[in-house]
Structure 1
Amino acid sequence: MTIEFVPATRASSKARIALAGPSGSGKTFTSLALGTALSDNVAVIDTERGRASLYVGVNGWQFSRLNPQSFSPKSLTDALAVAASQGFGCIVVDSLSHYWMGVDGMLEQADRRAKGGNSFSGWKEVRPDERRMLDALASYPGHVIVTLRVKTEYVVETDERGKKVPRKVGMRPEQREGIEYEFDVVGDLDLDNVLTVSKSRIPALSRAVIPQPGPELADTIREWLEQGEDAPDAMTYRERALQLSTYEELLALWTEVEKAGLLGAPILDNADKPTVLGDFIKYLGIQAKTKAGAQ
């Protein structure tokens, strides 16, 4: 294996945004405000019993929705594959916390797969599903916005009249530790709908405090994302794969997709079944090799 360093280049990309906050902080509203400003073709994966639909028509917002009842990591990967095939320019997952602590989420999956009371065996089995889900979120061919519930508690503060009053504050997001590493922008919303950016790859948003974030924030994000060279997305690679006929060609494409970091991109295969791009190219390669051997 040859190790070769090459000049770094920057490709244009899509937004990866996480909004965390307690109940009542405006996570759904803010995610829709950003999503509809970033794309005119938005889909919401609504885990909150259809509550996002209450905002249809607000500020002219129109979007499609999916209301899942089960929150296994695999089901989110599959939903993203269908969304990609239908060309949604922005996906809102409201909330990603359900895929951690909801019905069939990571916690339930790990408990269910534990063998002989050994919880580590359960986590070992379910981690690949989680990794596949996170790869699908990272490589979706459009913008991705997720909301995160946070554990809340009350603190006692002194108000302007000198009286002790309780105030609800958000604590750690209800997701696996380190989930923020998967996103370009991570912000915490408070009960006044003020966004405090806790992590940003966008210099202009570093440590920003933004009251009632909306289209102006989306414009800042879009401007930064577009400062790069155009690069193929998962759907472009899928179409290229379908046009290739030899194992060698498909192997070369698989290597190119690996370098682009899109092996885990969610797509539909040629039978319209959810899969990921790397597995699809590999499947086509095996078919091509088998066909060549039979001739």
Structure 2
Amino acid sequence: MSVFFKKAERKNAKLRLALAGPTGSGKTLGALLIAKGIGGKVAVVDTENSSAELYANVMDFDTANIQPPYSPKKFIAAIQAAEKAGYNTVILDSITHEWSGVGGCLEMVDALGKGKFKGNTWGAWSEVTPEHRKFIDAMLHSSINIIVTMRSKMDTVQVDAGGGKKKVEKLGLKAEQRDGIEYEFTTVLDITHGDYYAIATKDRTGLFLQPEQITEQTGIKLNQWLSSGSADAAINGNQYLELEALMTQAGVDIEKYCIKRKLNSLQDVRQQVFEETCSSIRKIIDRNTQSNQESEQQLQQEQDALLDDDYQKALAAIQNAQNENDLQYPAGYFKGSKYEQNILNACQAKMDMEGWAA
């Protein structure tokens, strides 16, 4: 396939933010304040025994409590439910449970390793990793803002202290999730215990060069950054999947479609033409459906006409039958058709008239 270059541009985006910190560091409150600053309807997926409701005075939001097992599928269903309900932001509090909670990924691997894979944890991971990946993809491809919280704990390592002795050194706080999870987010903020200051350990926005206290203003400036991209940028992940599915259903050759429009892929389709493109393809699907229905109707009419003709010929053949064996073919031919009973009645009448045994 041909490759086409286009000017690089940042499009309007949806937030993918992670807040990490120890228990009691203010992750839930921080997430709510940021969501309040962003604006719009907010949903909280609560794994912490309804703890988010303690902050109901901070802002208006809806909550859904999920219980163990904390499987990836349960979190995916929560994201999809928030999208369907029209929320602007969903807070997943917390995704640590998806990894190390009851029924989370680690427990899934342990159960599969002991059961289905008879001690082979590598085999167990071959089933669990794709499930975890689907959860990550559900966050990345979501059409709404995603804020997650992750519990952190002190990460330590043993080092040589000399004289054959070892000592423990603190490496800093580490989020309780799969290694590398931070790369999936636009921004990751570590919240320090006690003063509620956030330090960016990863930040693509350029807004968090210095430690700062999380307030509603944090959400306001994030929202401004999210909205500062090109209004005519490329479609997002969900729009791409929708367009691909429509084209497949319509029988459109996607590769030829992209070459004709000098696109590297459908992901380069512009936001401004997305709805118009989808509408055009739906019309093709409707025409194809109508055409197929008309073709099926015409075919059925032709088959009915042939059946009617065969029925008249069969009645004549039954009248001219020389023995009962001559009646077996018409009886079998029309079995299951609208003429089955009529043919059976005609065969029986012929047998009665000729005195053939039934």
* Largest Rg, 1 or 2: 2
Kindly state the Cα deviation for residue 80 of structure 1 after the two structures are TM-superposed.
0.9
What residue in structure 2 maps to residue 215 of structure 1? 216
- Map Cα deviations across residues 123-164 of structure 1 (whole Å, 9 max, x no partner): 11111111111011112111111011012489xxxxxxxxxx
State how 1:67-106 maps to structure 2 within 5 Å: 67-69=65-67, 70-106=69-105
What residue in structure 2 maps to residue 49 of structure 1? 49
CA contact (8 A) 1:74 1:129 kept: yes
Residues 80 and 201 of structure 1, relative CA distance in 2, 3 Å threshold: same
CA contact (8 A) 1:22 1:151 kept: yes
Distance 2:72 2:7 in 1: 36
Q: 1:178 aligns with which of 172, 180, 183?
A: 180
In the alignment, structure 1 segments of 5+ residues that lack a partner are: 155-167, 262-284
What residue in structure 1 maps to residue 118 of structure 2? 116
Question: What letter corresponds to residue 7 of structure 2 in structure 1?
Answer: P
CA contact (8 A) 2:141 2:237 kept: yes
Q: 1:132 aligns with which of 131, 134, 139?
A: 134
Residues 125 and 113 of structure 1, relative CA distance in 2, 3 Å threshold: same
Residues 204 and 86 of structure 1, relative CA distance in 2, 3 Å threshold: same
Distance 1:187 1:67 in 2: 24
Instruction: Provide TM-score, normalisation by structure 1.
Output: 0.75
State how 1:272-291 maps to structure 2 within 5 Å: none
Residues 292 and 241 of structure 1, relative CA distance in 2, 3 Å threshold: farther
Distance 2:292 2:172 in 1: 59
What residue in structure 2 maps to residue 143 of structure 1? 145
Q: Which has the higher helix share?
A: 2
Question: What letter corresponds to residue 29 of structure 1 in structure 2?
Answer: L
What residue in structure 2 maps to residue 201 of structure 1? 204
CA contact (8 A) 1:91 1:145 kept: yes
CA contact (8 A) 2:16 2:140 kept: yes
State how 1:186-265 maps to structure 2 within 5 Å: 186-191=188-193, 192-206=195-209, 208-211=210-213, 213-230=214-231, 231=233, 232-233=235-236, 246-249=249-252, 259-260=266-267
Higher relative contact order (CA 8 A, sep 6+): 1
Distance 2:106 2:14 in 1: 30
Kindly state the Cα deviation for residue 225 of structure 1 after the two structures are TM-superposed.
1.2
CA contact (8 A) 2:199 2:208 kept: no
Distance 1:203 1:87 in 2: 29
What residue in structure 2 maps to residue 65 of structure 1? 63
Residues 125 and 83 of structure 1, relative CA distance in 2, 3 Å threshold: same
Q: Which has the higher strand share?
A: 1
CA contact (8 A) 2:240 2:266 kept: no
Question: What letter corresponds to residue 27 of structure 1 in structure 2?
Answer: K
Question: What letter corresponds to residue 118 of structure 1 in structure 2?
Answer: N
In the alignment, structure 2 segments of 5+ residues that lack a partner are: 157-169, 269-284, 297-358
Kindly state the Cα deviation for residue 188 of structure 1 after the two structures are TM-superposed.
0.8
Distance 1:240 1:137 in 2: 19
Kindly state the Cα deviation for residue 234 of structure 1 after the two structures are TM-superposed.
6.0
Residues 183 and 118 of structure 1, relative CA distance in 2, 3 Å threshold: same
**Aligned-pair RMSD on alpha carbons?**
3.4
